[in-house]
Structure 1
Amino acid sequence: MRIAVTGSIATDHLMVFPGRFADQLMPDHLDRVSLSFLADTLEVRRGGVAANIAVGLARLGLRPVLVGAAGKDFADYDAWLRETGVDTGSVRVSETLHTARFVCTTDADQNQIATFYAGAMSEAKHIDLAPVAGTAELAVIAPDDIDAMLRHTDECRRLGLPFAADPSQQLARLDGEQARRLVKGATYLFTNEYEAALLQERTGWTAEQVLQQVGTWITTLGPGGVVITRQDQPPLNVPAVLTLTPGDPTGVGDGFRAGFLAGTGAGLSLEPAAQLGCVLATAVLESVGPQEYKLGAVELLHRLERTYGVAAAVEIEPALAGLS
């Protein structure tokens, strides 16, 4: 399956604070916060939601097309993505701006405080999706410049290209009309639990009304796994693949999306596709950096079997045939 992944391409600056953010916050003074967290470590890693998803798809044997805007410093990152199996021919490279930056601090409870600098991502609104629509079977509309997200969603509807809506971090910046426009007609809608509530607040729709607009709504629940909802169907709950060795949560949701979409692209039904997404998400969680994880078919199958049983692992195994 050929998937075009639109969205952010970034460099991640990941820091770890050994304490708890909650211990530093004073409930009576949240309107005047002035805090500084002394981090123990700093890791600089390749990132960006679209790039993270594309790398996950490539590692599972697909040849995704990355559609986004990067900066004049993109050459090394570009070479690494192409070596990994990502088609970067549709990436717009800015002549003046740097690649976007994601600066994030994670505390001992895996809570995160982050700042995102858009940089070259602001030029993504100039990218035309039509050149890749002829060969793609699905487009992912991941967090990006908002005008770019709206443009690409409209293009998908105009071109008849099925799309997955993944507004996530950009939901807070959308007005009601924009949020409704990004969701309407999506084959898949991805949110986490907080974003699910925020989406309803932004759109003014109830959960049932959201389901009238999309094919399948996938909501990630962290350690609680995933719930998949469809109109007039009972919810489908898929438990997470738990770990005793968490590393950094950055990119975990992107890993889930890559695994899920690779699974559906390989012909799996929703439940085993979500199980594959969960095992990939845990692989990301156990590393530092959203693209640093290693995948091996034998280990993935063992983890699938331990969590979901032998029958599930046997069903999913053919989807790992192209694992790189």
Structure 2
Amino acid sequence: MRIAVTGSIATDHLTTFPGRFSEQLLPDRLASVSLSFLVDDLQIRRGGVAANIAFGLGLLGVTPLLVGAVGTDFAEYGAWLRMHGVDTSHVQVSEQSQTARFMCITDRDQNQIAAFYPGAMTEARNISLADITASWGRPALVFIAPDDPPAMLRHTSESRELGIPYAADPSQQLARLEKEEARRLVDGAQSLFSNEYEAALLCERTGWTEQQVLDRVGTWVTTRGADGVTVVAQGQAVLTVPAVHSEKVVDPTGVGDGFRVGYLVGISRGLSRERAVQLGCALATTVLETVGTQEYRLSDDLLTRVVDTYGAGACRDIARCVKVPV
């Protein structure tokens, strides 16, 4: 299955705060917050939602096409992605801006405060999927991850015009979208991805109820952290899958991207929706236990997580489509 992944490509600057954000916020001073956190360390990692997803797909043996805009500082990062099975031939290189930056502080309770500098990402709006399909070929799916909002809208419109199924994952960009923009990104999507908070925000932004959203998409996948994943599709019973438990939470950044990788690989290789979600949950926990969004590796631990959480039958099914080093 040929998958084109559009969205942000960035460098992550990750820090940890040993205290709790909640202890630094004064309820009667929230209208004028001025805070500085002394952090313990700094990890500089490769990131960006589209790059994270493309990396994971490549790691699991799918060769995705990465579509996005970067700066001239991308050469080393691009070589890394290609080494892990990602096609970067249609990544656009800016002559003016640096690659985007994600800056994040995580506290002791795994709460996060983050900022995102778009940099070259704003030029993604100039990328034409029609031109890409003319030279690369027609993908079976376009995954539209958070990106420059005009780029997301363009890729959505072009996917519809070209008749290519697309998955909508507006997530972090929901706060920037107007009502009609949010509606355009969702309406007609084969799949819609969100976390629990984003699901509520999506309804607020579109002005649609949950049912009205479902009337416009094929499948709505909602991640709920430690409470697992819910999948809703028209005419089918609600599917709820528990999360894979972890004893060593290290870094929540990129966990949702890891889930999406597992789910997409499972669906693309013919697994049932339930098995695809289970694979996604197992991979998400693998990412959770690793610092950085592209530092995890596949091992037999992945299948151990599956059998321990979902049973031997699930493990047999998933093992047939995912090969891990022995």
Shift in Å, 1:321: 3.1
Instruction: State, as a whole percentage, how many aligned pairs show the same letter.
Output: 63
Shift in Å, 1:232: 3.2
User: In the alignment, does 2:218 pair up with 1:236?
Assistant: no
User: In the alignment, does 2:33 pair up with 1:37?
Assistant: no
1:294 alignment partner, one of 297, 302, 318: 297
Q: Which residue of 1 aligns with 2:78?
A: 78
Q: Deviations over 1:241-290 (max 9, x none)?
A: 11011111110000100110011001111110000000111111101111
3-state SS of 1:293 partner: coil
Q: Which residue of 2 aligns with 1:197?
A: 200
Q: Which residue of 2 aligns with 1:102?
A: 102
Q: Which residue of 1 aligns with 2:158?
A: 155
The aligned amino acid for 1:170 is: Q
The aligned amino acid for 1:47 is: G
Ranges in structure 1 where 5+ consecutive residues have no aligned partner: none
TM-score, normalization by structure 2: 0.97
Q: Which residue of 1 aligns with 2:321?
A: 319
Q: Which residue of 1 aligns with 2:46?
A: 46
Q: Deviations over 1:163-195 (max 9, x none)?
A: 000000000110110000000111110000000
Q: Which residue of 1 aligns with 2:58?
A: 58
Shift in Å, 1:230: 1.2
The aligned amino acid for 2:116 is: F
User: In the alignment, does 2:176 pair up with 1:173?
Assistant: yes
3-state SS of 2:215 partner: helix
The aligned amino acid for 2:275 is: P
Specify which structure has the bigger relative contact order, considering alpha-carbon pairs within 8 angstroms and separated by 6 or more residues.
1
3-state SS of 2:321 partner: helix
| 1:104–1:128 Cα change, 3 Å | same
The aligned amino acid for 1:196 is: A
3-state SS of 1:178 partner: helix
Q: Which residue of 1 aligns with 2:14?
A: 14
Contact residue 298 and residue 324 of structure 2 kept, 8 A: no
Ranges in structure 2 where 5+ consecutive residues have no aligned partner: none
Structure 1 CA distance, aligned partners of 2:191 and 2:321?
20
Structure 2 CA distance, aligned partners of 1:223 and 1:322?
25
Aligned length: 323
| 1:12–1:111 Cα change, 3 Å | same
Contact residue 260 and residue 277 of structure 1 kept, 8 A: yes
Q: Cα RMSD between the aligned structures?
A: 1.2
User: In the alignment, does 2:133 pair up with 1:130?
Assistant: no
Q: Which residue of 2 aligns with 1:183?
A: 186
1:307 alignment partner, one of 303, 309, 318: 309
The aligned amino acid for 2:76 is: D
